[in-house]
Amino acid sequence: MPFFVIIPARLASTRLPAKPLADLGGKPMVVRVAERAARSGASRVTVATDHPDIVAACERHGIEVCMTRADHPSGTDRIAEVALRLALAPDAVIVNVQGDEPLIAPELIAATAALIDATVPMATAAHAIDNAADLFNPNVVKLVTDAIGRALYFSRAPIPWHRDAFAAEGAGFQAALPAGYMPLRHIGLYAYRNDFLQSYSSLTPSPLEQIEALEQLRVLWHGLPIAVHLASSAPAAGVDTPEDLLRVQRFFTGAII
């Protein structure tokens, strides 16, 4: 099924001011993200922004861009506005690719989009956690799925909690974990069916999402399915800190993309 990529990009950033415009090998970060997304097989890639500087940067590099309202509470609302303005069909598949993911794998975008159908309005991705530090880090979002790969729950806590193995003290618990135990780390990539995307903001926020500070729990709380693509490995990290930016700049130095 054809799919569309919309990339929300705001200029404001607490830790990295003007992050979407950061230079990566001669091109702004948001342009690099759009170019990666275009390699996914998407029918159309559009940047959604509230700032004229980002509009100008995209236009200089031939990237489609749409100016949005500045008062959207989330990137989800921003891409919903753009999907409406592009007059996309109700059953169109839209992938939300964050504007600070210049190394995102095009195959990951395509695989997540492919999970959307008439019964599944939303999809995301995950990969296996292979170390205790990530498992117990509240900044690493975990999830569990059912037998057919749909999300049961997302949490900042270690889930599933292996009762017997985690009773061991210190690092010893890892040796006690049974074969097949595979906690999953959530990857912040989302695909939506357009009719669901347009109705998302009307869903009542859930107590669970407020407790965990995880917006996707609103969808589960209302009884709607979220399909999960299980990636074979962790994706390249996005850009959240000055250290991340230096790492990605080194990657793109001299690169021809």
Q: Which of 65-74, 190-199, 221-230 is the least confident region?
A: 65-74
Domain ranges of the chain: 3-249
pLDDT of residue 225: 98
Closest CA to 155 of 145, 146, 143: 143
Radius of gyration of the chain (CA): 19
Cβ–Cβ < 8 Å for 30, 99: yes
Per-residue pLDDT of 114-127, as tens digits, reads: 999 999 999 999 99
For the record, the structure tokens of 56 come out as: 């100008």
How much is the pTM? 0.91
User: Average model confidence (pLDDT) for the chain?
Assistant: 91
Q: Is the pLDDT score of 175 beyond 70?
A: no
Per-residue pLDDT of 28-62, as tens digits, reads: 999 999 999 999 999 999 999 999 999 999 999 99
Banded model confidence at residue 257, pLDDT cuts 50, 70, 90: very low
Bridge partners (DSSP) of residue 65 are: 47
Q: What percent of the chain has pLDDT over 90?
A: 72
As a CATH number, domain 3-249 is: 3.90.550.10
Banded model confidence at residue 70, pLDDT cuts 50, 70, 90: confident
Q: Is the pLDDT score of 15 beyond 80?
A: no
CA-CA distance, 189 to 186, in Å (whole number)? 9
Question: Which runs of E-coded beta strand occur in 41-171?
Answer: 44-49, 65-67, 93-96, 122-128, 142-145, 151-155
Per-residue pLDDT of 105-156, as tens digits, reads: 999 999 999 999 999 999 999 999 988 889 889 999 999 999 999 999 999 9
251 phi and psi angles, rounded to 5 deg: -60, -45
Per-residue pLDDT of 229-251, as tens digits, reads: 999 988 888 898 889 999 999 99
